[in-house]
Amino acid sequence: MIVEGSDILAMYGAVRTAVDRARAGEGPTLIEAKTYRFEGHFLGDPEPYRTREEVAHARATRDPLKVFSAQLQELGVATTDDLARIDRLVRDEVERSVEFGEASPEPSEDILLTDIYTGADSHGRTI
């Protein structure tokens, strides 16, 4: 199924349908989520393939958080004040997490490769 990837409710519905189908023994479901990449292909990408106006328009109309916030308000589930409060709580938690990480000691060298997968490609080269 093809779904607008910036619409959280549409994505939830598609995944819910896929899960229900799988649990009913009807096999897997392929979900194609149509999204928009707000950033370039790499850091410093000059992005000659699109205009700043195009990106600004996409940010204004296809940002999943903006779309979902508008839906919550339209459905009467949350107010602007509710969403602002949640945003503050999230920002505070992120800030505390950053502070914790910056205050934490660097990991020791003996755990740097812990839980790192290595294997070989089809030509026997280590990956």
Question: What residues have CB less than 8 Å from 3, skipping those under 6 apart?
Answer: 10, 11, 13, 14, 31, 32, 33, 34
Mean pLDDT (the chain, rounded): 93
What six digits make up the tokens of 79?
């107010």
pLDDT at 54: 96
Domain boundaries, the chain: 1-64, 75-105
pLDDT at 17: 98
- Residues 30-67: tens digit of each pLDDT: 999 999 999 999 999 999 999 999 999 999 999 999 99
Average pLDDT over residues 111-120: 79
